[in-house]
Amino acid sequence: MEFEFWWLLGIPVFFGLGWIAARVDINQLLSESRTLPRGYFKGLNFLLNEQPDKAIDAFIEIVKLDPETVELHFALGNLFRRRGETERAIRVHQNLLARPDLPAEHHGHALYELGQDYLKAGLLDRAEETFNKLIDTPYSAQAGRALLEIYQREKEWTRAIAAAEILQATGAGGRQREIAQFYCELAADELVRTNTDAAMSLLDKALAADRKSVRATMLMGDALRARGDIEGALETWRRVEHQSVPHTALVAQRLMDGYIAVGRPQEGINLLRAYLAEAPSIDLLEVVFKAVLDADGIDAANVLVSDELRRTPTLLGLDKFLEARMMSAPQTVRPELAVVKTLVHGYTQKLARYQCSHCGFKARQFYWQCPGCSQWETYPPRRTEELNVMN
């Protein structure tokens, strides 16, 4: 293919057109920037330098001089809310909504920001009323998520289910896991009132929403046990191993108590030892240790914890190993073992925590909903030290 020299003539032309376009954009930008108040750039500079107090003062001055600056009102309201000054944020957004000339696109935005102010201030009734006004508007999805948060805070689980189903139907993401958890919350309340029929009906709905819901399976077993159907409860609790083997640690004590109740403790021990071999866990080891101690004696319990410590060396395991050794140690050795046990136990108390995988919040007990970030099912069923060893 021969090179066409006339193409070279087009290069300066294209370069010139690009230069003209750039000049037009720059001139337009400069023209627009001259119309902005100087205080705007001062406030922006303070924000970039992480000086929100001075930025707010600068923006307030601009708003006083030019009340028509809608976007600046939004920036100011957001700054107030971020700093926890919710009353001032509410006033800013209420003032915007009171303007008769406020364009429709800004009206929805102002209403949404006002709802966020109420939510941050803990005024949940006002927040709910505000967000409900945004249904069937361009802010419908954001309002739906906010309403879902409100219903969870107020523990209105039936309304939370309805809100989650609407969000899911509108394509705002899958909510099956959350819906199952809301049904579990309702079922747990029914179990407290010993309404087992109502609880089981709700748990059927939870499992229909999320077949892998470990909590729903555990509660279903609890409902059967409350009815006196121990065999049915055992069969149900064993389904957890098919949903998530690590979560068997959470149902281990239920299983062991059930097998003891039906007179088959050794079957329970064998089952839990199989779980322990597949998914090592200090909580599971605790249950198996007590069961083996009661059924087979201290020597068998010692062998169990020794084997587990070799297989999964952790300080939590060492703490359990020392506990077992103290039971069988001669009286002359026990004081020294007690000193070591006290030191190790004191340190392991800091490690024996569950940790949220979303926000990092640590807790001594297992939660289905994180107390820190309110996310569902973000706690792995293992303690922090065990997770570190596995990684």
Annotated binding-site residues for Fe cation read 356, 359, 370, 373
Radius of gyration of the chain from Cα atoms? 31
Structure-token pair, residue 83: 């700093």
- What are the φ/ψ torsions at residue 363 (nearest 5 degrees)? -145, 150
H-run or E-run covering 279: none
Q: Binding site: which residues?
A: 356, 359, 370, 373
Picking from 316, 320, 284, 295, the residue whose alpha carbon sits closest to that of residue 305 is 320
Picking from 63, 68, 56, 60, the residue whose alpha carbon sits closest to that of residue 106 is 68
Within 13 Å, how many C-alpha atoms sit on residue 9's CB side?
3
- What are the φ/ψ torsions at residue 6 (nearest 5 degrees)? -70, -15
Q: At what angle do helices 298-311 and 282-296 cross, to 10 degrees?
A: 160
Strand, coil or helix: 335: helix
Angle at 255 between CA 253 and CA 258, to 5 degrees: 105
Strand, coil or helix: 11: helix
State how far the Cα of 386 lies from the Cα of 180, in Å rounded to an integer. Answer: 28
Q: 25 to each of 32, 34, 105, 356, how far by Cα in Å?
A: 11, 14, 27, 49
Contact 272, 290 (CB under 8 A): no
- DSSP codes, 70-105: HHHHHHHHHHHHHTT-HHHHHHHHHHHHT-TT--HH
Number of Cβ within a 10 Å radius of residue 210: 22
Contact 131, 143 (CB under 8 A): yes
Strand, coil or helix: 369: strand
Q: What is the DSSP letter of 209?
A: H
